[in-house]
Amino acid sequence: MYRLNLRTAQTVEFTDITGEVQHIVEASGVKDGICHIYIPHTTAGVTVNEHADPSVVKDICMALERIVSRKDNYRHSEGNSPAHIKASLFGSSQTVFIEKGKLVLGTWQGIFFCEFDGPRDRTVLVKAMSG
């Protein structure tokens, strides 16, 4: 298992980690199998989505704010309930196939770490497995 350490700078932030995950796959030596990406945080997640046009991420963030407003009447005493809800909507893991040592992603797809309670130091766990 590999650890990818990140430092986020904003409350809500999507960080394209595709290149780093691909480097981890290459370092693992796995040629055909799966790559599992896991986020061990309750206020962050991971998604696969378009990384060619940065306006897609901006649109996702805008829609998330409408769906889970920071200004609602939440009960959680830490004040970060919206981050917990957004992380639950996105999920804490993704699995991507590996073929010939490369991540199998669509032409426009990338892997994003999703920060919902930043800025923070974060960890992404990545495991490439043959099979």
- In DSSP terms, 36 is beta-bridged to 95, 127
Domains of the chain from N-terminus onward: 2-130 (2.60.120.460)
Residues 36, 24: Cα–Cα separation, whole Å: 11
pLDDT tens digits, the chain, 131 residues: what are they? 999 999 999 999 999 999 999 999 999 999 999 999 999 999 999 999 999 999 999 999 999 999 998 777 888 878 899 999 999 999 999 999 999 999 999 999 999 999 999 999 999 999 999 98
